[in-house]
Amino acid sequence: MTTKHATEGAWCILRTSGRTTLRLAESLAEDGFEVWTPIETRSVRIPKANVKRTVHLPIMPSYIFARAAHLIDLLQMAALDVKPRRKKPGTDAEGERETVPAHASFSVMHSHDGIPFVADAHLQRLRTLEAKLTPMKKAERTFGTGLDVNVKIEGGSFAGMKGVVRKSDNAYTLVCFDERMTVKIPTCLLEQDQLWGEVSQLGDAVRKAA
């Protein structure tokens, strides 16, 4: 029997057909399930139209990771021939009642008469691979440098942390944390943090005066 502690923060694995991987992950997320499947983002050219189009492809077709906290609900749903949606139908622009398609067919992976769980840390390599296969979004602005230029990270592994800008361009910014660690962060994930900068400078002035 798996204890709550053993599954806390872990993921179970769902199996579906390769062609429904992204559609199932999207519909489950819309219904409030925390799910993830690594995605490759490509920019492809349409020859006849001579335009570029962004497409998303599953890196691991047919595999979706779902938080173990949802396991009971997912097991119950997997046993049904038709997987009902939690999302309720709304109305379209013309006032017509919309239909909400059922979830694509899936199963919860079993192994040796049990259900395997994946620790969050074990997905880091897949997250890194996904990041490498995702085109870097160029930021609309860059940041200056110096002790008075302070930023807050709005996403990624360092989300919520604040630091001082050492170097910046439209792709990446070199951010120093507490003068002990310097990390290259995508510039599009950064926001200016003027208040923290003022507090930081005041602290420096107080330390120098002491």
- Give me the residue spans of the domains in the chain: 4-132, 150-209
- Other Cβ atoms less than 10 A from the Cβ of 103: the count is 24
Question: Which contacts (CB < 8 Å, 24+ apart) does range 38-46 have?
Answer: 38/126, 38/127, 38/129, 38/130, 39/130, 39/133, 39/134, 40/130, 40/133, 40/134, 41/133, 41/134, 41/135, 43/135
Q: Which value, in Å, is the radius of gyration of the alpha carbons in the chain?
A: 23
Counting beta carbons within 10 angstroms of the beta carbon of residue 88, is it exposed (0 to 12), middle (13 to 18) or buried (19 or more)?
exposed
Task: Report the alpha-carbon distance of residue 89 to residue 87 in Å, rounded.
Answer: 7
In this structure, whether the domain defined by 150-209 belongs to CATH 2.30.30 is answered with yes
**Tens-digit pLDDT profile for the chain (210 aa)?**
344 445 667 999 999 999 999 999 999 999 999 999 999 988 777 777 677 788 889 999 999 999 999 999 999 999 999 999 987 777 666 667 778 889 999 999 999 889 999 998 898 888 888 877 777 666 667 777 665 678 888 766 576 778 888 888 877 888 887 767 788 888 877 887 754 444 444 444 434 454
